[in-house]
Structure 1
Amino acid sequence: MTRTGGKIYDTATKKCNCPEGKKEDDNGNCVDDCDTSKEDLKKVFPNMSDSKAETLAKIINDKGRDFGIDSNEDLWHFLAQAGHETGGFNKLSVTESTYWTTASKLAKTYKKFTMDSIKAKNDKNLYYAPDYLKNSSDVANIAMCCRYGNGNVASGHGYRYRGRGIFQLTWKDNYKAFKTWYNNKYDPDIDPVSNPDIIASNDTLAVLSGMWYYKTRVVDKITISSSTTVKAVTKPINSATKGLSDRKKKFQKAKDSINCK
């Protein structure tokens, strides 16, 4: 083999290829190969399985730029946020749980539930919390009804369009918007509106739906640079900045472990 123009000419195959550690860019030039590896991800998330790490790394490398994840800072922030939401990427296909065992917490979390049985009896818009323990579908249908494309309680949309994927894609309007974007960009035959469980049963769609959510909430709204704080990125995802300390720790771990120059 001989070198020519930064590439290596293979006399056997009569093809020019970039040397190890380099890859060809859109202009045909050899540039540093900054693909994220399984090993990179496991430095940040040590409890992540090899198979999950391989899947996530491949999606980031193949599709990350489509979602504006194309710099160190972009990747660090994405991993910090998605890593927190998935508990360290123990799972990629995450489905929101609406199962409650404590009535008081249910009533405290959702205003449509009350611990006052008299109020619930006299107000058709209130529900007596103790009656709905261990009933995931009813809780979701009540709590998530009548907004963002979801129909009334009887429609079942609350449970049907509950959170799925690494960023918990929720509400019918969001499922529809993701479907339109995905169909136009990748595959016209995927329909998460008629089959929302596909987001939970398919690791790739679980990640891509999360990337889409991250793009629409963060990348399209915030210019991420070296001075962007974790709190600034967290607010569009969780307005109460819940879990901020853990998100900061994961960001710092990603920054310390992954650096492509």
Structure 2
Amino acid sequence: MSIYKSSNRVKNQTLSLSHLRKIWGSEQNVSDKLLSEVSEELNSNVNMCQLNTELRMCHFIAQVMHEVGGKFNLEENLNYSEMALISTFSNYGRTPSDAKNHAYNRATNKKADIEAIANHAYANRMGNGSVESGDGWKYRGRGMLQLTGKSNYISMKTKHNNLWSASVDFVANPDLLLQPKFAVRSALIFWLEHQLYKKADIGASRMVTDSITKVINSKTTSYSERHDNLTDLLKRKVFKDVF
């Protein structure tokens, strides 16, 4: 914990449900309970996890907005078409017949085999075993920044337990990251580990946003959308009264 230096918050206001409700506006899509748990966890860790300025928080939330979407989904969406699988995952690029078998097909009303997709897409990557190991599905993307891969779950376990003086086994119980508290913490650990707060401190330009996006998901096609999120958060001063 001591390896991370943090400055004091300029103000001692509370990041609350009302702030996040300005972003996720419909309670039909996202419950008060979920957003309250997320805001409480963020508020408790703004200093330790280097989210202690308006600009840092806006950069962080701009990325989260795209990762979880309008319904605040804490689990990876694996509903892919055949061509999307081939273009997104190298394993499917090498075996396009598998992409056809696993993808959805609207013309025939065929649903995607999401478990098979995870196991094939992530086989022999990020600490995962073979397709047959089932690691791809077990360690599919979860949390606010979509933690993926067995090696990252192992790292999450070590770093989380050091930072929060806890004993939680995310490797044995990866679905823990679907709980708001741990979903938030997984994203905070990523933010710290990659020192994204230093990039955020540079400013609010497209170049800065892109540099953060590249670390979180280099192959995404959403660079522009993530920057638009940041611009909107700053324009509306969503977190200004917190800092």
- Shorter chain as normaliser: what TM range? 0.7 to 0.9
Residue 95 of structure 1 aligns with an amino acid whose one-letter code is E
**Equivalent residue, structure 2, for 1:34:** 13
Cα distance in 1 between the residues matched to 2:221 and 2:49: 24
Instruction: Select 1:213's aligned residue among 167, 171, 190.
Output: 190
SS at match of 2:201: coil
Describe how 1:20-31 pairs up with structure 2 within 5 A. none
Aligned to 1:97: 77
1:127 to partner: Cα distance: 5.6
Name the larger-Rg structure: 1
- One-letter amino acid of the counterpart of residue 172, structure 2: S
Helix, strand or coil: the match of 1:158? Answer: helix
Specify which of 182, 194, 199 is matched with residue 222 of structure 1. 199
Corresponding residue of 2:69: 87
Structure with greater helix percent: 2
Amino acid corresponding to residue 258 of structure 1 in structure 2: F
The structure 1 residue matched to 2:95, chosen from 119, 122, 126, is 126
Larger displacement relative to structure 2 (217-226 or 139-148): 217-226
Mapped to 1, the partners of 2:175 and 2:233 lie a distance apart of: 31
Report the 3-state secondary structure (helix = DSSP H, G, I; strand = E; otherwise coil) of the residue aligned with 1:214.
helix
- The within-5 A match list for 1:1-261 is 32-47=11-26, 48-88=30-70, 90-91=71-72, 94-100=74-80, 102-113=81-92, 126=95, 128=97, 129-133=99-103, 134-200=112-178, 202-219=179-196, 222=199, 224-226=201-203, 229-240=208-219, 242-255=221-234, 256=236, 257-260=238-241
Residue 78 of structure 1: how far off its partner (Å):
0.7
Structure 2 residue ranges without an equivalent (≥5): 1-9, 104-111
Measured in 2, the distance between the counterparts of 1:43 and 1:143 equals 36
Residue in 2 that maps onto 1:14: none
Secondary structure of residue in 2 paired with 1:95:
coil
Identity of aligned residues (%): 29
Query: Structure 2 CA distance, aligned partners of 1:106 and 1:85?
Result: 18
> 1:220–1:50: structure 2 CA closer, same or farther, 3 Å change rule?
closer
Equivalent-residue separation in structure 2 for 1:99 and 1:61 (angstroms): 33
Assess, with a 3 A threshold, how the Cα gap between structure 1 residues 151 and 243 changes in structure 2: closer, same or farther: same
Higher relative contact order (CA 8 A, sep 6+): 2
- The structure richer in strand per residue is 1
| Cα distance change, pair 140–42 in 1 and its aligned pair in 2 (3 A) | same
CA RMSD of aligned residues (A): 2.6
Letter of the 2:126 counterpart: Y
CA shift, 1:190, in A, is 1.0
Aligned length: 219
Q: TM-score, normalised by structure 2?
A: 0.79
CA distance in 2, matches of 1:67, 1:76: 14
Provide the C-alpha distance between the structure 1 equivalents of 2:223 and 2:60, rounded to a whole number of angstroms.
14
Read off the aligned partner of 1:96 and give its amino acid letter: E
Task: Please state how far the C-alpha of 1:227 moved relative to its aligned partner.
Answer: 5.1
The TM-score normalised by the length of structure 1 is 0.74
Q: How far apart are 1:245 and its partner, in Å? A: 2.8
- More off after superposition, 78-87 vs 47-56: 47-56
Is residue 217–residue 237 contact of structure 1 (8 Å, CA) maintained in 2?
A: no
Q: Which moved more, 1:138-147 or 1:77-86?
A: 138-147
TM-superposition CA deviations, 1:153-204 (whole Å, max 9, x none): 221111111100111000111101110011122253310101111112x111
Change (3 A) 1:103 1:40: closer
